[in-house]
Structure 1
Protein backbone atom coordinates (compact mmCIF):
# COMPACT_ATOMS: atom_id res chain seq x y z
CA UNK A 1 0.00 0.00 0.00
CA UNK A 2 2.90 2.34 0.73
CA UNK A 3 4.30 1.56 -2.72
CA UNK A 4 1.01 2.61 -4.28
CA UNK A 5 1.02 5.88 -2.34
CA UNK A 6 4.63 6.49 -3.33
CA UNK A 7 3.79 5.89 -6.99
CA UNK A 8 0.84 8.29 -6.80
CA UNK A 9 3.04 10.92 -5.14
CA UNK A 10 5.65 10.46 -7.87
CA UNK A 11 2.96 10.83 -10.53
CA UNK A 12 1.75 14.06 -8.93
CA UNK A 13 5.29 15.44 -8.71
CA UNK A 14 5.96 14.59 -12.36
CA UNK A 15 2.71 16.27 -13.39
CA UNK A 16 3.64 19.42 -11.47
CA UNK A 17 7.08 19.53 -13.08
CA UNK A 18 5.65 19.12 -16.56
CA UNK A 19 3.04 21.78 -15.88
CA UNK A 20 5.81 24.13 -14.75
CA UNK A 21 7.74 23.41 -17.95
CA UNK A 22 4.64 24.12 -20.01
CA UNK A 23 4.05 27.40 -18.18
CA UNK A 24 7.64 28.46 -18.79
CA UNK A 25 7.28 27.71 -22.50
CA UNK A 26 4.06 29.71 -22.64
CA UNK A 27 5.78 32.60 -20.87
CA UNK A 28 8.56 32.48 -23.46
CA UNK A 29 5.94 32.56 -26.21
CA UNK A 30 4.30 35.64 -24.66
CA UNK A 31 7.68 37.41 -24.45
CA UNK A 32 8.42 36.64 -28.11
CA UNK A 33 5.00 37.90 -29.22
CA UNK A 34 5.46 41.10 -27.20
CA UNK A 35 8.86 41.66 -28.79
CA UNK A 36 7.32 41.16 -32.22
CA UNK A 37 4.57 43.68 -31.46
CA UNK A 38 7.14 46.16 -30.15
CA UNK A 39 9.17 45.81 -33.33
CA UNK A 40 6.08 46.37 -35.47
CA UNK A 41 5.20 49.46 -33.45
CA UNK A 42 8.72 50.77 -33.88
CA UNK A 43 8.50 50.14 -37.61
CA UNK A 44 5.21 52.04 -37.82
CA UNK A 45 6.59 54.97 -35.83
CA UNK A 46 9.66 55.17 -38.03
CA UNK A 47 7.49 54.94 -41.13
CA UNK A 48 5.44 57.95 -40.02
CA UNK A 49 8.53 60.08 -39.66
CA UNK A 50 9.49 59.20 -43.23
CA UNK A 51 12.93 58.06 -42.25
CA UNK A 52 14.07 54.56 -41.49
CA UNK A 53 16.91 53.74 -39.16
CA UNK A 54 17.36 50.33 -40.76
CA UNK A 55 16.92 49.22 -44.35
CA UNK A 56 13.53 47.59 -45.02
CA UNK A 57 15.16 44.31 -46.02
CA UNK A 58 16.86 44.05 -42.65
CA UNK A 59 13.57 44.76 -40.89
CA UNK A 60 11.86 42.08 -42.98
CA UNK A 61 14.58 39.57 -42.11
CA UNK A 62 14.23 40.45 -38.44
CA UNK A 63 10.47 39.96 -38.62
CA UNK A 64 10.94 36.58 -40.32
CA UNK A 65 13.43 35.56 -37.64
CA UNK A 66 10.97 36.49 -34.90
CA UNK A 67 8.21 34.58 -36.69
CA UNK A 68 10.49 31.54 -36.89
CA UNK A 69 11.15 31.87 -33.16
CA UNK A 70 7.41 31.97 -32.46
CA UNK A 71 6.89 28.82 -34.56
CA UNK A 72 9.73 27.06 -32.74
CA UNK A 73 8.22 27.93 -29.36
CA UNK A 74 4.82 26.64 -30.50
CA UNK A 75 6.43 23.39 -31.65
CA UNK A 76 8.17 23.06 -28.28
CA UNK A 77 4.86 23.57 -26.48
CA UNK A 78 3.19 20.92 -28.63
CA UNK A 79 6.07 18.50 -28.04
CA UNK A 80 5.85 19.11 -24.29
CA UNK A 81 2.11 18.38 -24.39
CA UNK A 82 2.74 15.20 -26.36
CA UNK A 83 5.42 14.13 -23.88
CA UNK A 84 3.07 14.89 -21.00
CA UNK A 85 0.35 12.72 -22.51
CA UNK A 86 2.79 9.88 -23.18
CA UNK A 87 4.12 10.00 -19.62
CA UNK A 88 0.60 10.07 -18.22
CA UNK A 89 -0.32 7.03 -20.28
CA UNK A 90 2.82 5.21 -19.16
CA UNK A 91 2.18 6.01 -15.50
CA UNK A 92 -1.45 4.92 -15.80
CA UNK A 93 -0.34 1.62 -17.31
CA UNK A 94 2.19 1.15 -14.50
CA UNK A 95 -0.50 1.91 -11.94
CA UNK A 96 -2.81 -0.63 -13.58
CA UNK A 97 -0.04 -3.22 -13.53
CA UNK A 98 0.61 -2.50 -9.85
CA UNK A 99 -3.09 -2.84 -9.04
CA UNK A 100 -3.26 -6.14 -10.93
CA UNK A 101 -0.24 -7.44 -9.02
CA UNK A 102 -1.82 -6.35 -5.75
CA UNK A 103 -5.05 -8.11 -6.69
CA UNK A 104 -3.09 -11.24 -7.59
CA UNK A 105 -1.30 -11.16 -4.24
CA UNK A 106 -4.63 -10.79 -2.45
CA UNK A 107 -6.31 -13.59 -4.39
CA UNK A 108 -3.37 -16.02 -4.32
CA UNK A 109 -3.95 -17.23 -0.71
CA UNK A 110 -7.64 -17.77 -1.50
CA UNK A 111 -6.78 -19.82 -4.57
CA UNK A 112 -4.21 -21.88 -2.68
CA UNK A 113 -6.56 -22.53 0.26
CA UNK A 114 -9.40 -23.63 -2.04
CA UNK A 115 -6.99 -25.98 -3.83
CA UNK A 116 -5.97 -27.44 -0.46
CA UNK A 117 -9.58 -28.16 0.55
CA UNK A 118 -10.21 -29.95 -2.74
CA UNK A 119 -7.19 -32.17 -2.07
CA UNK A 120 -8.47 -32.97 1.43
CA UNK A 121 -11.94 -33.87 0.11
CA UNK A 122 -10.53 -36.31 -2.45
Structure 2
Protein backbone atom coordinates (compact mmCIF):
# COMPACT_ATOMS: atom_id res chain seq x y z
CA UNK A 1 0.00 0.00 0.00
CA UNK A 2 2.88 2.38 0.78
CA UNK A 3 4.25 2.14 -2.78
CA UNK A 4 0.84 2.90 -4.26
CA UNK A 5 0.47 5.97 -2.03
CA UNK A 6 3.93 7.21 -3.02
CA UNK A 7 3.04 6.75 -6.69
CA UNK A 8 -0.17 8.77 -6.25
CA UNK A 9 1.74 11.45 -4.34
CA UNK A 10 4.25 11.73 -7.17
CA UNK A 11 1.50 11.97 -9.80
CA UNK A 12 -0.37 14.64 -7.86
CA UNK A 13 2.66 16.92 -7.84
CA UNK A 14 2.27 17.36 -11.59
CA UNK A 15 0.12 20.15 -12.98
CA UNK A 16 -1.10 18.10 -15.93
CA UNK A 17 -2.71 15.32 -13.87
CA UNK A 18 -6.51 15.39 -13.98
CA UNK A 19 -7.49 14.38 -10.43
CA UNK A 20 -11.17 14.06 -11.41
CA UNK A 21 -10.74 11.89 -14.47
CA UNK A 22 -13.49 9.29 -14.78
CA UNK A 23 -13.54 5.74 -16.08
CA UNK A 24 -16.38 4.37 -18.25
CA UNK A 25 -18.54 3.95 -15.12
CA UNK A 26 -17.93 7.54 -14.00
CA UNK A 27 -15.68 6.57 -11.09
CA UNK A 28 -12.83 8.90 -10.11
CA UNK A 29 -9.46 8.21 -8.46
CA UNK A 30 -11.05 9.32 -5.16
CA UNK A 31 -13.86 6.80 -5.62
CA UNK A 32 -11.32 4.00 -6.14
CA UNK A 33 -9.20 5.07 -3.16
CA UNK A 34 -12.36 5.01 -1.02
CA UNK A 35 -13.45 1.64 -2.42
CA UNK A 36 -10.09 0.07 -1.61
CA UNK A 37 -9.91 1.74 1.83
CA UNK A 38 -6.65 3.51 1.06
CA UNK A 39 -6.89 6.27 3.66
CA UNK A 40 -3.55 7.88 2.78
CA UNK A 41 -4.50 8.21 -0.88
CA UNK A 42 -7.92 9.59 0.11
CA UNK A 43 -6.14 12.23 2.23
CA UNK A 44 -3.79 13.12 -0.64
CA UNK A 45 -6.66 13.54 -3.07
CA UNK A 46 -8.81 15.53 -0.65
CA UNK A 47 -5.89 17.88 -0.03
CA UNK A 48 -6.10 19.07 -3.64
CA UNK A 49 -8.27 22.10 -4.34
CA UNK A 50 -9.47 20.70 -7.66
CA UNK A 51 -10.81 17.35 -6.42
CA UNK A 52 -14.58 16.98 -6.59
CA UNK A 53 -15.23 15.07 -3.38
CA UNK A 54 -18.92 14.61 -4.22
CA UNK A 55 -18.58 13.44 -7.81
CA UNK A 56 -21.26 10.92 -8.86
CA UNK A 57 -20.66 7.82 -10.94
CA UNK A 58 -23.15 6.56 -13.56
CA UNK A 59 -25.28 4.98 -10.82
CA UNK A 60 -25.37 8.22 -8.83
CA UNK A 61 -23.00 6.87 -6.18
CA UNK A 62 -20.57 9.25 -4.50
CA UNK A 63 -17.33 8.54 -2.65
CA UNK A 64 -19.31 9.07 0.58
CA UNK A 65 -21.95 6.48 -0.27
CA UNK A 66 -19.19 4.09 -1.32
CA UNK A 67 -17.29 4.58 1.95
CA UNK A 68 -20.48 4.09 3.97
CA UNK A 69 -21.29 0.89 2.11
CA UNK A 70 -17.72 -0.36 2.65
CA UNK A 71 -18.03 0.46 6.37
CA UNK A 72 -14.94 2.63 6.63
CA UNK A 73 -15.75 5.14 9.38
CA UNK A 74 -12.41 6.93 9.11
CA UNK A 75 -12.95 7.72 5.43
CA UNK A 76 -16.58 8.64 6.09
CA UNK A 77 -15.38 11.14 8.68
CA UNK A 78 -12.81 12.60 6.25
CA UNK A 79 -15.46 13.11 3.60
CA UNK A 80 -18.03 14.51 6.03
CA UNK A 81 -15.53 17.10 7.21
CA UNK A 82 -15.80 18.77 3.81
CA UNK A 83 -18.45 21.37 3.02
CA UNK A 84 -18.66 20.27 -0.62
CA UNK A 85 -19.98 16.80 0.24
CA UNK A 86 -23.76 16.41 0.24
CA UNK A 87 -24.44 13.94 3.03
CA UNK A 88 -27.97 13.08 1.85
CA UNK A 89 -27.14 12.63 -1.81
CA UNK A 90 -29.37 10.00 -3.47
CA UNK A 91 -28.18 7.40 -5.96
CA UNK A 92 -30.23 6.12 -8.92
CA UNK A 93 -32.17 3.84 -6.55
CA UNK A 94 -33.02 6.76 -4.26
CA UNK A 95 -30.68 5.45 -1.55
CA UNK A 96 -28.75 7.82 0.72
CA UNK A 97 -25.57 7.13 2.67
CA UNK A 98 -27.70 6.98 5.84
CA UNK A 99 -29.90 4.25 4.37
CA UNK A 100 -26.81 2.17 3.53
CA UNK A 101 -25.36 2.66 7.03
CA UNK A 102 -28.66 1.76 8.71
CA UNK A 103 -29.15 -1.31 6.51
CA UNK A 104 -25.72 -2.58 7.48
CA UNK A 105 -26.26 -1.82 11.15
CA UNK A 106 -23.18 0.39 11.33
CA UNK A 107 -24.03 2.52 14.38
CA UNK A 108 -20.72 4.42 14.29
CA UNK A 109 -21.31 5.63 10.73
CA UNK A 110 -25.00 6.37 11.41
CA UNK A 111 -23.89 8.63 14.29
CA UNK A 112 -21.31 10.37 12.08
CA UNK A 113 -23.92 11.04 9.43
CA UNK A 114 -26.51 12.32 11.90
CA UNK A 115 -24.04 14.92 13.17
CA UNK A 116 -24.39 16.70 9.82
CA UNK A 117 -27.18 19.26 9.53
CA UNK A 118 -27.88 18.31 5.91
CA UNK A 119 -28.73 14.66 6.62
CA UNK A 120 -32.42 13.98 6.20
CA UNK A 121 -33.16 11.16 8.63
CA UNK A 122 -36.66 10.59 7.23
CA UNK A 123 -35.65 10.39 3.56
CA UNK A 124 -37.38 7.60 1.63
CA UNK A 125 -36.08 5.60 -1.32
With normalisation by structure 2, the TM-score equals 0.18
Q: Indicate the structure whose relative CO is greater, using CA pairs within 8 Å and at least 6 residues apart.
A: 1
Q: Where is the helix percentage greater, Structure 1 or Structure 2?
A: 1
Indicate the structure (1 or 2) with the bigger Cα radius of gyration: 1
